[in-house]
Amino acid sequence: MNEVIEKKDFIRDIIDEDIKNGKHKKIKTRFPPEPNGYLHIGHAKSICLNFGISQEYQNATCNLRFDDTNPEKEEMEYIDSIKEDVKWLGFDWGENLFHASCYFDKLHKFAVYLIEQGKAYVDNLSFEEIREYRGTLTKAGKNSPYRDRSIEENLNLFEEMRNGNVEEGKCVLRAKIDMKSPNLNMRDPVIYRVKKSDHPKTGDKWCIYPMYDFTHGYSDAIEGITHSLCTLEFEDHRPLYDWFLDQLPAEWFPSRPRQIEFSRLELTYTIMSKRMLIQLVKENHVSGWNDPRMVTISGFRRRGYTPKSIREFMKGVGISKSKGYVEFSNLEYYIRQELNATSPRVMAVIDPLKVVITNYPEDKVEEFDVEINPEDKSSGTRKVPFCREIYIEKSDFMEEPSKKFFRLRPDGEVRLKNAYFIKCEEIIKDNKGNIIELRCSYDPLSKGGNSPDGRKVKGTLHWVSVKHGKKIEVREYDRLFKTEFPGKETGNFLDDINSESLTIKKHCIIEPAFFDYNKNTRYQFMRNGYYYPDPFDSTKEKPVFNQIVKLKDTWQNVKK
């Protein structure tokens, strides 16, 4: 498209090399989620990598494959949500939707073949015994007494397992590799276990299910995957991945896939573990998988993040093998960047403070034409009504401000955006001393926001007419955790939950112009941030906005 030189990474370098030397003509990748939870932003990295590659190379494709080999944890709900999330992120698997469970028949045959080749055996050791026999990190394992059964016996026993005549946990099928291997994964890994539970896809057809290591490489090979990209913790599994592939005739498969590992995405101030995410949901620390504070794809979607901003973020982060935490502010940069360019501006007061302009006529109403988005001149203008009583933001007035504060102060003058200069004349308080209203005067000559005498005001405030403003609810979000690395101190991530991560503001006022109300519009509430109508709770009658991200706030830093 454009002349931007895309930054490559070590994986794309490998692919380039494989194409250059003729190893592959068509590149095939896959995104292989296990449907045991919702996708999070860490998955998005893998999705962008795998599907991204399929878009960049000639005739390349990326399969969506559910790694559904453990029916106890997997559910249809998750399968559906994963599809929705991948699509939302902007990727399309076309016809290439698969399930590892599609290959259960083949996988079973492969297992039988391994037995026939003397490369697999049925083991009657108990769960505990298997662990004992495996040895430790520093001590070699020892062979199971059942390791040298005859091929016939193994075949019969495996058939018994398959037919449901074996109880769960009584025996497993194991690969016969090397109990003394320094790589624990090679110490006769289990490849089939008995599980008498129904599978979301295959129902009650099977009572034995293959393990990940056995399943994954073969599924890749069956699908003709050329590059099997996974995260670092599978590095130790690569020898096993290759071993399984080596045991079957290469002609049985369209490709010999190569596993390449990269580091997973970690973000500060959050957790990315599925186990912890599911705990947040199940224990009601959040409202659900799509709570806008969650780092799930559905959470970001509901919050108002755009798929593009997430994709751009992933490009910015890059792919490498060194692990680390990306600062959350890095992600926020990308959503601000996009929304600054695209979102309609609107004035909304989150914490209203009433201002009466004492010298402005009682019943007069003026309308100002205001740019919808100064970054996009084609967006046109909107009408903003002005009258004697308006709301400004509470935080835009200080009774005893520092010199650096250049918003409204007693006797101070400030500009109401696109309207007039006003000067604070009087502060009205309730009997507890709270400021409940301001009396100001305006300069009729400053209409539009400039004074003919050329005098400057430093501050410009957003405002909404009391008479014309509409009430909305705003939900403001802070980080779900108050520390960069939740759980680092106490060992329990729940200890670091930020109890103030959600603030509901029920009495916010927005200018009437936002009523080209569109569920899918992300607005900039001027001088505040970006906001998105909650897809579930917002209605035209009772609008509810989620804060996507605050505007960058240098004033915060000045205050410190």
Partner RNA sequence: UGGGACGUGGCCAAGUUGGCAAGGCACAGGACUUUGACUCCUGCACUCGCUGGUUCGAGUCCAGCCGUCCCAGCCA
User: Which of 298, 524, 538, 546 is in the footprint of RNA by CB under 7 A?
Assistant: 524
Does residue 125 interact with RNA by CB under 7 A?
yes
Contact positions with RNA (CB under 7 A) in 461-520: none
Residue 282's φ and ψ, nearest 5 degrees, are -65, -35
Verify binding: residue 138, RNA, rule CB under 7 A. Answer: yes
Closest approach, Cβ 232 to RNA, in A, equals 6
Task: Spell out the long-range contacts of 300-305 with Cβ–Cβ below 8 A and sequence spacing 24 or more.
Answer: 300/41, 301/85, 301/88, 301/535, 302/534, 302/535, 302/536, 302/546, 303/477, 303/532, 303/546, 303/548, 304/522, 304/530, 304/531, 304/532, 304/546, 304/548, 305/335, 305/548
DSSP letters spanning 173-236: EEE-S-TT-SSGGGSS-EEEEE--S-BTTTBTS-SEEE-HHHHHHHHHHHHT-SEEEEEGGGGG
Nearer to RNA, 124 or 287 (CB): 124
> Residue 129 belongs to what H/E stretch?
helix 127-134
Binding flag, residue 404, RNA (CB under 7 A): yes
Residue with smaller CB distance to RNA, 272 or 551: 551
Q: Which of 149, 415, 468, 475 is the binder for RNA (CB under 7 A)?
A: 415
Shortest distance in whole angstroms from residue 419 CB to RNA: 7
Q: Give min distance, CB of 358 to RNA, in A.
A: 22
The residues with which 99 forms a beta bridge, in sequence order, are: 66
Least CB distance from residue 420 to RNA, whole Å?
9
Mark 349-378 with x for binding to RNA (rule: CB under 7 A) and - for no binding. ------------------------xxx---
Q: How far apart are CA 96 and CA 30, in angstroms?
A: 9
- Nearer residue to RNA within complex by CB, 11 or 280: 11
Among 52-60, 151-159, 212-220, 515-523, which window interacts with RNA (CB under 7 A)?
212-220
151 vs 232 by CB, closer to RNA: 232
How far apart are the C-alpha atoms of 215 and 217, rounded to whole Å? 6
Give the CA distances from residue 279 to residues 33, 77, 337, 485, 496, in Å, rounded to whole numbers and listed in that order.
Answer: 19, 17, 33, 17, 14
Q: Of these, 55, 117, 126, 156, which contacts RNA (CB under 7 A)?
A: 126
Shorter beta-carbon distance to RNA: residue 102 or 291: 102
Q: How many CB atoms lie within 10 A of CB 539?
A: 11
Rounded least distance, CB 173 to RNA, Å: 10
Interface residue with RNA among 24, 119, 134, 303 (CB under 7 A) is: 134
From the candidates 8, 73, 264, 467, give the one annotated as an active-site residue.
264
Select from 211-219, 247-255, 290-298, 352-360 the region that touches RNA (CB under 7 A): 211-219
| Shortest Cβ 370–RNA spacing (Å) | 8
Is 479 known to be catalytic?
no
- Contact 176/118 with Cβ under 8 angstroms? yes
Residues 173-192 that bind RNA (CB under 7 A): 182-185, 189-190
Query: Which C-beta is closer to RNA: that of 41 or that of 302?
Result: 41
Q: Among 88, 113, 146, 406, which residue sits at the site for RNA (rule: CB under 7 A)?
A: 406
Q: Is 461 helix (H, G, I), strand (E, B) or coil?
A: strand
Does residue 264 carry a catalytic annotation? yes
In 3-state terms, what secondary structure has residue 346? strand
Distances (CA, A) of 14 to 23, 275, 547: 11, 33, 41
Give whichever of 459 and 535 is closer to RNA, judged by the CB atom.
459
CA distance 469 to 113: 74
417 binds RNA (CB under 7 A): yes
* DSSP state letter for 14: H
Separation in Å, CA 331 to CA 38, 42, 338, 442, 509: 20, 12, 11, 42, 29
Considering only residues 14, 19, 26, 34, which one is a binding residue for RNA as defined by CB under 7 A? 34
Within 8 A by CB and 6+ apart from 102, the residues are 201
Q: How far is CA 539 from the centre of its chain?
A: 25
Q: Which residue of the set 34, 366, 425, 437 is catalytic?
A: 34
Are residues 517 and 532 in contact, defined by beta-carbon separation less than 8 angstroms?
Answer: no
- CA 217, CA 260: separation in Å to the nearest integer? 12
Site for RNA (CB under 7 A): how many residues?
91
The b-or-e profile of 162-186 (16+ CB within 10 A means b, else e) is: beeebeeeebbbbbbbebebeeebb
Asked if 321 touches RNA (CB under 7 A), the answer is yes
Residue closer to RNA, measured from CB, 71 or 302: 71
Of 61-90, which residues contact RNA (CB under 7 A)? 67, 69-70, 73
Ranges assigned E (strand) in 363-410 = 366-371, 381-386, 389-393
| Region from 41-49, 134-142, 463-471, 539-547 binding RNA, contact rule CB under 7 A | 134-142
Distance in Å, CB of 539 to RNA, minimum:
27
The CB-of-270 to RNA minimum distance in angstroms stands at 13
Active-site choice (274, 345, 475, 522) = 274
State whether residue 297 is helix, strand or coil. Answer: helix
The reply on whether position 448 binds RNA by CB under 7 A is: yes
Residue from 194, 310, 350, 384 that binds RNA (CB under 7 A)? 194
Buried b (16+ CB within 10 A) or exposed e, 60-84: bbbbbbbbbbbbeebeeebbebbbe
- 525-554 positions binding RNA, by CB under 7 A: 526-527, 551-554
Binding mask 260-279 for RNA (x = CB under 7 A): ---x----------------
Q: Does 30 bind RNA (CB under 7 A)?
A: no
- Binders of RNA among 154-173, rule CB under 7 A? 168-172
Interacting residue with RNA among 199, 303, 345, 479 (CB under 7 A): 345
275 catalytic per annotation: no
Alpha-carbon gap, residue 40 to 38, rounded angstroms: 6
Shortest CB 431 distance to RNA, Å: 29
Catalytic residues: 34, 264, 274
